[in-house]
Structure 1
Amino acid sequence: MIIVQCTKKLAGELNAPFLSEKPQQANPLYCWHAHIFTYNRRKCVLVMNNSTRYNFMMYGLVKSDFTHFGELLVKHISENMLADEIDQALVNRYLDNVGESSYAPTSDRSIVSQINEMVSVAQQIMEMNMAKTGDLGINKVNRFMNKYIFMKLPKLYSAETMRDELLSLS
């Protein structure tokens, strides 16, 4: 089961039942925090993995996307892992264990703080991309965000940490 821990703002957009808190037995690799924000009058959701800090942004979401948010999230997880050159077999092994999506409130202030930092980074990169090329370059933004240094991670970079965690899955 994948658990999405949503900020209050995102919870207001979702039409889904919420758990009162994150299940204690949940594997942190299958737990994600998510926050909604707007950029250029478009709804965006930044999602970050609890254990690896692997993150990406979904841009231009509309109301109907929030009715099947769990499926959309899994699709974006897969696409971003493959774009970060994580082996297809590792991605498939991860996705085989995903199952249903459950929603819970946020539980870790440090992750929310890191999400807010990544939102600022993403907005700056999108503004630079717009000034240079006239395109937001969402794919480039997502690749950059996983090459951003997180001092608390063993490998410093979230993409490398995610790859190592996926290799250790049995």
Structure 2
Amino acid sequence: MIIQCTKALLDKLEIQKSDLVSPEGYEQSPKSLMGWHANLVTIYRRKVMILMNNETRYPIVINRLLKKDLSNINAVIQEAIRVALRMEGIKEAIIEDYLASGEDITFSKTASRSMVAKLNNTVREIEMMSEYLDKDTTIQRYISLVVSRMIQLDGPKKGFYPRNKMIESLAMLNGLNVNQAAEQVFDIELYQLNIQLDLEGHHIWRRVLVPSSFSFRHLHNIIQTVFDWQNYHLHEFTVKRANNKPLKIVLDDDPETLEFTAFDNEEIVQERFVSLRDVFSKHSDVLYQYDFGDSWMHIITLEKKVQAHSLQVVFLEGNGERPPEDVGGEYGFNEYLRILGDATDPEHEDMKIWAASQKERIFTVEQTNQRLKNVIYNYYYI
């Protein structure tokens, strides 16, 4: 495997000119899959190493390079590739075969202007999605998932997604049928989650399958989607722990988000960087609160684990219509139902008009699953 570095990165790694190898041949298949162009940039005032695969343009991000990382850079690069492909749900054997095929890591200068331009584009995309960059962690887990799903153009050729091209290339490397790559390349653990609104006298719930590698940001997007919440309000996850203070999983470190947080009594983490596996491997239930005013509490229960060949959320079934947004909490919801159920109530007609823009829209299972394809990015009420 060859890492084709910009001058800034070569200087940072302190690689001597005599130790560089020729980059020739790594721009075209089959050697291009074993080549990565790399640059060193500054994001959040930290040095960040960005790698782009020559063949697929798949991005890898290594944050805050410390002295110990620089002295062991070969192993760090390999682990970063391993972690990113693992997050995609690629089988361990496929990942290890790829790393073994690359043999020892060598370094060279960048190749052509064309490859440097593609690398620069990847850097811009990483910078654009830098909210998914965990500032306190060296090897990044989530930013590759997002950026690898950004369409790439290559001259007059048809556009492609780096993630899809990486899957196809790994299948071909292992002599597998590209048309059946999903079954042969993926081994994905899904969590079957039951998400129930904690409302006395009401049985409102949704059941979904979610990749265990997904973050709690993804889970927030999923809950908003399957309940058709409008994402107007703040939210947080809480994990109650028997022998430790509660774990609060919050949107970000914005002061408005943390306004209701008791730092002395709670451990705080950001939802973008915590996976479902991190939590559900130790706990079977998590609480999700949406709208701190109306305080809609959802109880999320891990029912079982299943294996799959697709890194995709699946809505299975549900029951009950959620309360309207801004209805006034549990009391307001019951009043809303009472007024709608009484045609003689003087507020009946006005309530019907108001509810039209606030209550849950009804989607088919197929429509809901189509909407869930976008949760890896963000949730928008459309």
Task: Pick the TM interval, shorter chain.
Answer: 0.7 to 0.9
Identify the residue that residue 14 of structure 1 maps to in structure 2: 13
Rg comparison, structure with higher value: 2
Where structure 2 has 5 or more consecutive residues not aligned to the other structure, the ranges are 175-382
What is the distance in 1 between the residues matched to 2:114 and 2:121? Answer: 11
Is 2:158 the counterpart of 1:163?
Answer: no
Residue from 130, 134, 147 that aligns with 1:145:
147
- Can you list the C-alpha shifts for 1:122-157, whole angstroms capped at 9, x where unaligned? 222225x69xxxx66953322111001012376711
- The range that moved more, 88-97 or 21-30, is 21-30
Residue from 125, 128, 140 that aligns with 1:124:
128
Identify the residue that residue 56 of structure 2 maps to in structure 1: 52
What is the distance in 2 between the residues matched to 1:62 and 1:157? Answer: 32
Question: Per the alignment, in what secondary structure is the counterpart of residue 143 of structure 2?
Answer: helix
Distance 1:119 1:16, change over 3 A: same
Higher relative contact order (CA 8 A, sep 6+): 1
What is the distance in 2 between the residues matched to 1:154 and 1:22? Answer: 27
Identify the residue that residue 101 of structure 1 maps to in structure 2: 105
Please report how far the alpha carbon of residue 59 of structure 1 lies from its aligned counterpart in structure 2 after TM superposition.
1.1
Where structure 1 has 5 or more consecutive residues not aligned to the other structure, the ranges are none
Residue from 60, 67, 80 that aligns with 1:76:
80
AA in 2 matched with 1:13: K
- Can you list the C-alpha shifts for 1:57-95, whole angstroms capped at 9, x where unaligned? 111111331222111111101110111222222112112
Identity of aligned residues (%): 26
Whose helix fraction is larger, Structure 1's or Structure 2's? 1
Question: Per the alignment, in what secondary structure is the counterpart of residue 139 of structure 1?
Answer: coil
What is the distance in 1 between the residues matched to 2:64 and 2:167? Answer: 27
TM-score (normalised: structure 1): 0.84
| RMSD over equivalenced CA pairs, Å | 2.4
What is the distance in 1 between the residues matched to 2:24 and 2:125? Answer: 31
- The range that moved more, 87-96 or 30-39, is 87-96
